[in-house]
């Protein structure tokens, strides 16, 4: 009796540990056909008027969707912006219509390209902290997520999410 119980407890504990660690590392959120992979935000300098935030969006549905922006309790609003670098000159533009995620496609928002911009954060973003946010999609509606604050991007080996030929 008791030995049988012990035998089942151990795998359950292992499973629970695996689930916990998976959520800690993979850190993803979903709503319907939309999956948000590893939302993170860069640490900000003291009194920074803006902050950059990054994530991967996967649309497993059969219709295209569009990420248009969002909100968070820690800033005025979240906008979709694009940074381009041409001939040594950095240019940043808001994308008021957001960014399209084609059916079955995955889009990476990363430093040096398309990113989310937190306008007027009301607190400094400290490494290791996290904050909640709501993303707005044209079709899927709102998706509740939580950003983790990192100093540098997570280094991944062999990215399967790359899409659309970024140049480093």
List residues binding other proteins (CB under 8 A): 42-52, 81, 83, 85, 88-94, 96, 111-112, 115, 117-118, 151, 168
Name the residue nearer to other proteins (CB basis): 32 or 113. Answer: 113
Name the residue nearer to other proteins (CB basis): 94 or 164. Answer: 94
Neighbours of 161 (CB within 10 A): 14
Q: Shortest gap between Cβ of 88 and other proteins (angstroms)? A: 5
Name the residue nearer to other proteins (CB basis): 24 or 90. Answer: 90
Name the residue nearer to other proteins (CB basis): 111 or 141. Answer: 111
Assigned token pair, 124: 């400094």
**Alpha carbon distances (Å) from 92 to 71, 80, 86:** 20, 11, 11
Q: Shortest gap between Cβ of 102 and other proteins (angstroms)? A: 25
Q: Shortest gap between Cβ of 124 and other proteins (angstroms)? A: 8
**Spatial contact of 37 and 56, defined as CB atoms under 8 Å apart:** yes
Name the residue nearer to other proteins (CB basis): 132 or 151. Answer: 151
Q: Shortest gap between Cβ of 119 and other proteins (angstroms)? A: 9
**Alpha carbon distances (Å) from 39 to 2, 14, 89:** 44, 26, 27
Q: How far apart (Å, rounded) are the C-alpha atoms in residues 96 and 82? A: 10
Q: Shortest gap between Cβ of 93 and other proteins (angstroms)? A: 7
DSSP letters for 36-96:
EEEEEEE---TT-SEEEEEEEEEE-SSS-EEEEEEE-TTSSEEEEEEEEEETTEEEEEE-T
């Amino acid at each position: 009796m008791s030995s049988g119980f012990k035998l089942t407890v151990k795998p359950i504990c292992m499973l629970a540990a695996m689930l916990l660690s998976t959520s800690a590392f993979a850190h993803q959120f979903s709503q319907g056909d939309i999956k948000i992979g590893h939302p993170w935000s860069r640490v900000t300098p003291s009194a920074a008027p803006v902050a950059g935030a990054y994530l991967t969006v996967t649309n497993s549905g059969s219709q295209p969707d569009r990420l248009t922006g969002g909100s968070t309790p820690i800033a005025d609003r979240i906008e979709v912006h694009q940074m381009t670098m041409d001939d040594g000159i950095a240019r940043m533009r808001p994308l008021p219509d957001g960014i399209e995620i084609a059916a079955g496609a995955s889009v990476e928002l990363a430093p040096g390209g398309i990113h989310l911009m937190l306008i007027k954060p009301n607190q400094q973003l400290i490494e290791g902290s996290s904050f909640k946010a709501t993303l707005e999609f044209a079709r899927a509606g709102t998706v509740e997520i939580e950003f983790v604050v990192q100093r540098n991007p997570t280094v991944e080996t062999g990215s399967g999410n790359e899409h659309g030929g970024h140049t480093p």
